[in-house]
Chains A and B, each alone.
Chain A
């Protein structure tokens, strides 16, 4: 590892035989935001930029845009339960790029700066993006972030981690966030490329995130997706995400 980090620029390979996927078990998530902060660190996201967020929801919400969602608590703050006492409900929904197979962002990008690798990762070439933000208009999940002004960092904050990482000549990870381009969760392509897991998976204290290869029938993600009842967000839009969610299985009190 250490020797690889010393290079000025890393070059990664696509693994076309694989299809990377992530399963998030919403039974386990406690809404601690460790994954979101870890993501911020490893990707050097400026203040006010979040590639990964942990939303406070009622159990099993947001699977569909057609079913009426529970009205969020008036405060709009995190960790506030839904419903009225004593019938309160609370669950968490970590949301980052859903790495869609039929990604609207890939379809609309005029310059092919956003592209989907054969292994399922949706990436952005920061050197090619013209910053038109059409992909942000196209994304149903609101997970794309535009770098409006370069961003500011907390005093003594993080100054970048890792090296520039190229895939097929595309700059898909860079420690210094470039101004004027769109950015988003990359499934930690630069870590997966050297056999590590995405940093949110690594950092989740509850093991709620599982990462692996869907083409391998024996992998944990395959098991969870095929037999565990994993679902996708807004699946009726046909985007076919590679991020799956295990719905909350505990008994949900009926609305009174």
Chain B
């Protein structure tokens, strides 16, 4: 174990330079995003690929994706308390940190989507209570504050202040329903709309909740694996088993719900719904989403997690987590963009799209959408902001040092779980990275 300590020290010193490069890269991407946003403010939303048929695009679907990502961490941290799953405790603070970062980025993601971003306070000045968007903005704000408070409390508890234990427990009981509410309200932005056959299903809220758990757990898994690889975070085998189980179960339920929705639309054969479904089914123009969701983000990760020979491969959990994220992102694209592609009323000349091009028509029958570099820039910039918050938070909260053990003594199984790694932590200066 002495050699292990030396190796860790060496590793820590080695990684001091990469962190600088990592920050530099993040700042660069964020600067690109900011420049893209300034350009968009100057030109207007004409700088994006959205037009009057597909009038929501990359911003809104990434917003919905990040809202989903924020679930996993908080649900895992809360489940650890509420259901007494001790193996998930090492991930509590990392999970809540990622939840706070995700919900912050999701909230910011709405701003570049607005035609008049400087009027955003109108949501608070003149709220329309029948709009799911108002409720969503409210719950996002509450959820953000809540996750910060939860993080603070968990940090105190981890530092050994036992009086915070009861508070952490109460917060866990609030956090679980709050997370479910957040995803339901976000789902209802879409699910309540009678004008979109693709969205208007009561399955939308449960589907959002379960895909949120899937993507959120996958993200926390990935973060933990990264922290284990480059930091000093440790992911005990028992915790891995729980993560694997969470991903498998939520993925199966997710695919079940999506499949049930497909079957209902196929059986009913109503023109508006079928027109949408045909776009994503094999041979449709958007069928790549179908394959991304069912094969890349469904069958392959399930095989990696379930087939005995595959699940013993060293990277299987990480690869499965990445593929699960790809699958959920494909689902978000499918939801938002495909929902817009077919307007209910389609007769020649179609809908005016809101741009004039002398060589082609100003009208389109079926909507088209491909994001511009401005959109990619802003989305990548905000994703870099997420990575920055998580990196800074990880180091500032010293998650690499003590997240493994809960010094409150609240958790007595962990020290044994961590026995193989625990020794090398003792006396180690927390200098990661």
Residues on A close to B: CB < 8 A? Answer: 46-50, 53, 55-57, 61-62, 65-69, 72-73, 75-78, 80, 93, 95, 104, 107-113, 128-134, 136-142, 144-152, 179-182, 233-234, 237-239
Of B110-118, B225-233, B236-244, B380-388, the stretch lying at the interface with chain A is B110-118
CB pair A80–B193 under 8 Å, yes or no, is no
CB pair A137–B56 under 8 Å, yes or no, is yes
- On chain B, the residues within 8 Å of A93 by CB distance are 347
Inter-chain CA distance A129–B120, complex, in Å, is 9
Cβ 8 A contact of B114, one of A55, A77, A131: A131
Closest B residue by C-beta to A66: B270
B195 touches A (CB below 8 Å): yes
CB pair B126–A128 under 8 Å, yes or no, is yes
Chain B: number of interface residues, binned into ranges: 35 or more
Nearest-Cβ distance from residue B165 to partner chain A, whole angstroms: 40
Would A78 and B126 be within 8 Å (CB), given that A48-B356, A66-B270 are in contact? no
- On chain A, the residues within 8 Å of B271 by CB distance are 65-69
- On chain B, the residues within 8 Å of A65 by CB distance are 197, 270-272, 344
Known: A50-B363, A113-B126. 7 other contacts (CB 8 A): A50-B362, A66-B272, A107-B131, A111-B122, A128-B126, A130-B122, A179-B115
CB pair B126–A140 under 8 Å, yes or no, is no
Nearest-Cβ distance from residue B332 to partner chain A, whole angstroms: 15
- On chain A, the residues within 8 Å of B115 by CB distance are 129-133, 146-147, 179-182
CB pair A180–B44 under 8 Å, yes or no, is yes
Q: Is the interface of A mostly helix, strand, loop or mixed?
A: loop
Inter-chain CA distance A108–B194, complex, in Å, is 12
Q: Is the interface of B mostly helix, strand, loop or mixed?
A: loop
Inter-chain CA distance A147–B114, complex, in Å, is 12
- On chain B, the residues within 8 Å of A146 by CB distance are 45, 52, 55, 115, 354
CB pair B127–A133 under 8 Å, yes or no, is no
Closest B residue by C-beta to A108: B131
Cβ 8 A contact of B52, one of A67, A73, A136: A136
Inter-chain CA distance A107–B192, complex, in Å, is 11
Nearest-Cβ distance from residue B65 to partner chain A, whole angstroms: 17
CB pair A141–B344 under 8 Å, yes or no, is yes
- On chain A, the residues within 8 Å of B264 by CB distance are none
CB pair A179–B122 under 8 Å, yes or no, is no
**Cβ < 8 Å to A, chain B residues 332-347:** 339-340, 343-347
Inter-chain CA distance A181–B115, complex, in Å, is 6
CB pair A55–B55 under 8 Å, yes or no, is no
CB pair B348–A130 under 8 Å, yes or no, is no
Nearest-Cβ distance from residue B264 to partner chain A, whole angstroms: 15
CB pair B272–A148 under 8 Å, yes or no, is no
Nearest-Cβ distance from residue A58 to partner chain B, whole angstroms: 9
Inter-chain CA distance A65–B355, complex, in Å, is 27
Nearest-Cβ distance from residue A91 to partner chain B, whole angstroms: 10
Cβ 8 A contact of A110, one of B131, B197, B352, B357: B131
- On chain B, the residues within 8 Å of A47 by CB distance are 356, 362
Inter-chain CA distance A146–B193, complex, in Å, is 19
Would A110 and B127 be within 8 Å (CB), given that A76-B365, A128-B119, A142-B351 are in contact? yes
Would A137 and B133 be within 8 Å (CB), given that A130-B116, A131-B114, A148-B44 are in contact? no
CB pair A238–B194 under 8 Å, yes or no, is yes
CB pair B123–A110 under 8 Å, yes or no, is yes
Nearest-Cβ distance from residue A42 to partner chain B, whole angstroms: 17
- On chain A, the residues within 8 Å of B195 by CB distance are 104, 137-141, 237
**Cβ < 8 Å to A, chain B residues 64-78:** none
Inter-chain CA distance A36–B119, complex, in Å, is 31
Would A130 and B123 be within 8 Å (CB), given that A65-B272, A104-B194, A110-B133 are in contact? yes
Nearest-Cβ distance from residue A132 to partner chain B, whole angstroms: 6
CB pair A112–B43 under 8 Å, yes or no, is no
CB pair B352–A61 under 8 Å, yes or no, is no
CB pair B53–A142 under 8 Å, yes or no, is yes
Nearest-Cβ distance from residue B106 to partner chain A, whole angstroms: 15
Cβ 8 A contact of A130, one of B52, B56, B119, B346: B119
Can you list 5 residue pairs at the A/B interface with Cβ under 8 Å? A47-B362, A77-B348, A130-B116, A130-B123, A149-B43
CB pair A234–B123 under 8 Å, yes or no, is no
Would A237 and B348 be within 8 Å (CB), given that A66-B271, A110-B131, A137-B56 are in contact? no
- On chain B, the residues within 8 Å of A130 by CB distance are 114-117, 119-120, 122-123
Cβ 8 A contact of A76, one of B52, B120, B270, B349: B349
B132 touches A (CB below 8 Å): yes
B350 touches A (CB below 8 Å): yes
B176 touches A (CB below 8 Å): no
CB pair B344–A73 under 8 Å, yes or no, is no
- On chain B, the residues within 8 Å of A140 by CB distance are 194-195, 344-345
CB pair A137–B128 under 8 Å, yes or no, is no
- On chain A, the residues within 8 Å of B128 by CB distance are 107-112
